[in-house]
Structure 1
């Protein structure tokens, strides 16, 4: 199986974490299927499957630091999962990102190096995040976190 055909990132190019995650994927030599989820949101079934496959609950997959979260008062615990999913689909900015799907699993890649756990190919060289944090050494090996 070609790993490139089996790698998808639900991406927001305005998000540093999403950009770092995409760069880590590309550091394997693969160009993934990139879905700008604010422009092309997932279907309800896709969203539910990503959340379940990543081992999350619906609340784990909601961004809290955006206007719709506050305006809709989504912190209140009376909302059902179905209602929260409806809000996420109506306001895709509420979907936390980036979700990455590979042949090795699905993850919400926050922080971006979470993607390393599901990449089917090794890193090809050194990598540092946009903020300068070194994640991968020159031999393509993950640098231990402190």
Structure 2
């Protein structure tokens, strides 16, 4: 099984999701996305697995979201993905990928049905 988590160690929900996976005996590949930001191509792959539009991949409460004017409805998917790639703090977290499926694990308990 190919299991990975896009993780922010400073985020309590991300830490809870990782702990939940590990408590089930799973050892996911942990991707600290702020240290190793995903490329636009990787973000497109995540969107395809999540079956969501790019805006749903973003943390709208982040200061950078407002500062960069990302609430502009005229911005396209490419614009939003470029913003996430350049400012990885904007990426929703945690994201767990299991094979050909992915989930934004907020709240982490969503993983119980996903696994």
Aligning the two structures, in what range does the TM-score lie when normalised by the shorter sequence? over 0.9
Structure 1 runs, 4 residues or longer, greater than 2 Å off: none
Q: Distance in 1 between matches of 2:33 and 2:98?
A: 17
> Given the alignment, which residue of 80, 93, 110 partners 2:89?
93
Is residue 35 of structure 2 the alignment partner of residue 39 of structure 1? yes
Q: Distance in 1 between matches of 2:42 and 2:92?
A: 14
Contact 2:49/2:100 (8 A) holds in 1: no
Is residue 77 of structure 2 the alignment partner of residue 54 of structure 1? no
Q: Distance in 1 between matches of 2:67 and 2:60?
A: 11
Q: Distance in 2 between matches of 1:117 and 1:48?
A: 24
> Alignment RMSD, CA only?
1.2
- Deviation string, structure 1 residues 14-62 (Cα, Å, up to 9, x no partner): 1111011101110111211000000001121211111221121101111
| Residue segments in structure 2 that go unaligned for 5+ positions in a row | none
- If each structure's helix is expressed as a fraction of its own residues, which one has the higher value? 2
TM-score normalized by structure 1? 0.75
Name the SS of the counterpart of 1:68 in structure 2: helix
Contact 1:104/1:118 (8 A) holds in 2: no
| Residue segments in structure 1 that go unaligned for 5+ positions in a row | 120-146
Contact 1:13/1:36 (8 A) holds in 2: yes
Q: CA deviation at 1:104?
A: 6.3
> Given the alignment, which residue of 90, 100, 105 partners 2:101?
105
Q: Distance in 2 between matches of 1:104 and 1:24?
A: 20
Contact 1:68/1:94 (8 A) holds in 2: yes
Which has more radius of gyration? 1
2:67 alignment counterpart = 71
